[in-house]
Structure 1
Amino acid sequence: MDHWEAPILLESNPVPNLEPNLLPGILGEMVEAVSISTETPPELATGLVLPVISTALQGKFRVQVNCDHTEPVNIWTLVALESGNRKSSVLATMTQPLTDWEMHEQKRLKPIIKEAEIKQRNHEARLKHLRARYGKAKKDEIEEISMEILEFEKELEEIPNQPQIWTQDVTTERLGSLMDEHDEKMTLLSAEGGIFDILAGKYSSGVPNFDLYLQGYSGDSVKVDRGCRPPLYLKKPALSLGLSPQPDVLRGLVDKPGFKGRGLLGRFLYLLPDTNLGYRTLKTEPIPEEIKRKYHSLIASLLGIEQIRYEDGQIKPYILRLSKQAKKELHCFALQVEKDLREGERFEFIKEWGAKLPGAVARIAGLFHCAENPVHPWANEIGLGITQRAIQLAYMFAEHTLLAFDLMGADKSLEQARKIWRWAKRKKLRTFTKRDCFNDLRGTFRRVTNMDDPFEVLRERHYMREFQQKTGGRPSIKYNINPALSKGW
Structure 2
Amino acid sequence: MTGLTDFNDLAQVEGRTAVKRTIDTARPVAVPVADIWGDPILPGARRTPEIEASILPGIFAEHADAVAASTQTPPALATMFTVSILATVLQGRYEIAPFGDDYREPLPIWTCTCYPVGGRKTAVFNAGVAPLQRWEKLAGDRARPEIARRFAAREVATKRIERLKQDAAREDDVQRREAIQDEIKREREGMPDEMKAPRIFTTNATPERTEGLLAEQDGKLGILSDESDTFLNLSGGLRGGIASLDAVLKGHAGSAIRVDRQGREAHLDRPTLSMGLIVQPESFAELAAGRRLRATGVLARYLYAIPKSNIGTRDVRQRVPVPRAVAEGYHQAVMDLLQGYEERGREPRVLTLAPDALEQWLEFSETMEKDQGEGGRFEAITDWTSKLPGHAARLAALFALAAGGLEVAVVQRESMERALTLCRLLIPHAEAAFAMLGADDTDADALAVLRWIRTGERSEFTRRDAQRAMHGRFSKVERLERALAVLRDNYIISGEKKSATGGRASAFYLVNPKLYTMKVAA
Aligned partner of 2:116 in structure 1 is: 82
Q: CA separation in 2, counterparts of 1:345 and 1:20?
A: 31
Aligned partner of 1:478 in structure 2 is: none
Q: CA separation in 2, counterparts of 1:84 and 1:144?
A: 68
Corresponding residue to 1:146 among 171, 181, 193: 181
Deviation at 1:22, TM superposition (A): 1.2
1:39 lines up with 2:68 in the alignment: no
1:320 lines up with 2:351 in the alignment: yes
Aligned partner of 2:202 in structure 1 is: 167
Query: CA offsets, 1:135-181, max 9 Å, x none?
Result: 44350422222222222222111132111110012111111111111
Tell me the TM-score normalised to structure 1 length: 0.79
Q: Counterparts of 1:380-459 in structure 2 under 5 Å? A: 381-409=410-438, 440=478
Structure 2 stretches lacking a partner, 5+ long? 1-35, 451-459, 464-476, 493-509, 515-522
2:96 partner SS: strand
Aligned partner of 1:56 in structure 2 is: 89
2:293 partner SS: coil
Q: CA separation in 1, counterparts of 2:258 and 2:186?
A: 31
Deviation at 1:344, TM superposition (A): 5.0
Whose Rg is larger? 2
Contact 1:308 1:317 (8 Å CA) reproduced? no
Cα 1:190/1:345, change in 2 over 3 Å = same
2:398 partner SS: helix
1:276 lines up with 2:276 in the alignment: no
Cα 1:69/1:280, change in 2 over 3 Å = farther
Contact 1:59 1:317 (8 Å CA) reproduced? yes
Cα 1:119/1:213, change in 2 over 3 Å = closer
Cα 1:347/1:307, change in 2 over 3 Å = farther
1:377 partner SS: coil
Q: CA separation in 2, counterparts of 1:252 and 1:220?
A: 30
Contact 1:36 1:284 (8 Å CA) reproduced? no
1:74 partner SS: coil
Contact 1:253 1:408 (8 Å CA) reproduced? no
Query: CA offsets, 1:395-426, max 9 Å, x none?
Result: 2211222211112217x79969989x99xx99
Cα 1:6/1:292, change in 2 over 3 Å = closer
Q: CA separation in 2, counterparts of 1:292 and 1:180?
A: 33
2:294 partner SS: coil
Deviation at 1:68, TM superposition (A): 4.6
Q: CA separation in 1, counterparts of 2:37 and 2:323?
A: 54
Aligned partner of 1:16 in structure 2 is: 49
Cα 1:51/1:7, change in 2 over 3 Å = closer
- Between 1:130-139 and 1:71-80, the stretch displaced more is 130-139
Query: CA offsets, 1:231-290, max 9 Å, x none?
Result: 434332211111111110132556413122222111111111222322234422222222
Aligned partner of 2:153 in structure 1 is: 119
Number of residue-to-residue matches in the alignment: 446
Query: CA offsets, 1:319-347, max 9 Å, x none?
Result: 11010000000111111222332555542
Q: CA separation in 2, counterparts of 1:338 and 1:484?
A: 43
Deviation at 1:225, TM superposition (A): 6.9
1:316 partner SS: coil
Contact 2:445 2:480 (8 Å CA) reproduced? no
Corresponding residue to 1:357 among 385, 388, 410: 388
2:275 partner SS: strand
Contact 1:253 1:259 (8 Å CA) reproduced? no
Deviation at 1:443, TM superposition (A): 12
Cα 1:159/1:343, change in 2 over 3 Å = closer
Aligned partner of 2:472 in structure 1 is: none
Aligned partner of 1:107 in structure 2 is: 141
Deviation at 1:126, TM superposition (A): 3.5
Cα 1:224/1:87, change in 2 over 3 Å = farther
Aligned partner of 1:91 in structure 2 is: 125
Tell me the TM-score normalised to structure 2 length: 0.75
* Superposed CA RMSD: 4.0
Aligned partner of 1:242 in structure 2 is: 276
Aligned partner of 2:255 in structure 1 is: 220
1:259 partner SS: helix
Cα 1:275/1:203, change in 2 over 3 Å = closer
Aligned partner of 1:467 in structure 2 is: none
Counterpart residue type for residue 332 of structure 2: S
Aligned partner of 1:69 in structure 2 is: 103
1:372 partner SS: helix
Contact 2:491 2:512 (8 Å CA) reproduced? no
Q: CA separation in 2, counterparts of 1:138 and 1:223?
A: 40
Corresponding residue to 1:198 among 222, 226, 233: 233
Deviation at 1:9, TM superposition (A): 4.2
Aligned partner of 1:433 in structure 2 is: none
Query: CA offsets, 1:420-479, max 9 Å, x none?
Result: x99xx9989xxxxxxxxxx946999xxxxxxxxx99xx99x999xxxxxxxxxxxxxxxx
Counterpart residue type for residue 356 of structure 1: K
Structure 1 stretches lacking a partner, 5+ long? 429-438, 445-453, 464-482
Deviation at 1:192, TM superposition (A): 1.1
Aligned partner of 1:368 in structure 2 is: 399
Q: CA separation in 1, counterparts of 2:210 and 2:392?
A: 27
